[in-house]
Amino acid sequence: MCNRIARAGLLASLALLATAPAQAQVDGPALYQQHCAKCHGDDGRASNMRGRLLFAQDLGDAKWQEHTSDAQILAAIRNGARMMSGYASKLNLEQQQALVQVVRGLRQP
C-alpha cells in the first residue's frame, strides 16, 4: 500500500516536471552586447572611443586573461571595477556567470 502511494506521488511529481516550462538558457553573447560592448567593444579590446575615455579593460589581452581568475571577473561584473558600475542588482548570478564565459572567449593570442 505504501509503495503504491509513493509510486503515485513519484509519477505525479514527474508529470509536473514534464509539463513545467523549460528554463530559458542564458544568452551570454547577447548580454555582452547589451551591457558590455559599448565600452569594451565587440571584440573586448576596448579600442572604441568610450572604452578609451573610461580606461576600460582590454578583455582580450592574453596576459590579463592569464592572470585573472573567473572569480575576479565575476567580482568585477557584480561589484564594478575602475569606472565600471556593478551589475549585481541588474543581472542574476546565472547571467553574470554567462558573461564570465563570454569574457573568457574574448582572449586574443
Q: Which domains, from first to last, does the chain contain?
A: 25-104 (1.10.760.10)
Its pTM stands at 0.76
**Rounded Cα distance, 21 and 32, in Å:** 25
| Cβ within 8 Å of residue 91, ≥6 positions away | 31, 35, 77, 99
Predicted confidence (pLDDT) at residue 52 exceeds the cutoff of 80? yes
**Which cell numbers hold the place of 1?**
500500500
Q: How much is the pLDDT for 12?
A: 47
pLDDT beyond 70 at 95: yes
Average pLDDT, the chain: 86
pLDDT exceeds cutoff 60 at 37: yes
The stretch 45-62 carries a mean pLDDT of: 96
103 pLDDT tier (thresholds 50, 70, 90): very high
